[in-house]
Amino acid sequence: MKRKRLRFGKGFRVALGNRRSQVAEMVLPPGESEGGPTNRHRGADQWLYVVTGTGAALVKGRRVPLRAGTLLLVEHGDRHEIKNTGRGLLRTLNVYVPPAYTRGGDELPRARP
């Protein structure tokens, strides 16, 4: 069993994981974004859950509003960007299956989902 208390500090941070999945925290200040036209996880699905704040996701060219309680599935290969459109911090919990990043936050080579 693994356990960790999440802190939601600024930026992106891998919190926990194993060989099959991992969880990361992401905090974006107002106006900031993560990802972009070339951002995609070639071998991992991403489940994004909005803990607090408001924002927008652009997934495969489609805009999706984000607010606390939103759960979004970004499938492997989908190009995507997450942007904070609110006045406060946008805090998200991200689950990757299989893992998409090293413990330090660098993208892993393509895995097989």
Domains observed in the chain: 20-93 (2.60.120.10)
CB 18 within 8 A of CB 5: no
- pLDDT on residue 111: 56
Helix (H) or strand (E) holding 12: strand 11-17
Residue 113's pLDDT band (cuts 50, 70, 90): very low
> For residue 18, how far is the Cα from the chain centroid?
17
Q: What is the pLDDT of residues 9-22, one digit of tens each?
A: 989 999 999 999 99
- pLDDT on residue 42: 82
Collapsed DSSP state (helix, strand, coil) of residue 41: coil
Give the DSSP letter string of 84-97. Answer: E-SSS-EEEEEEEE
Q: What is the pLDDT of residues 49-107, one digit of tens each?
A: 999 999 999 999 999 999 999 999 999 999 999 999 999 999 999 999 999 998 888 88
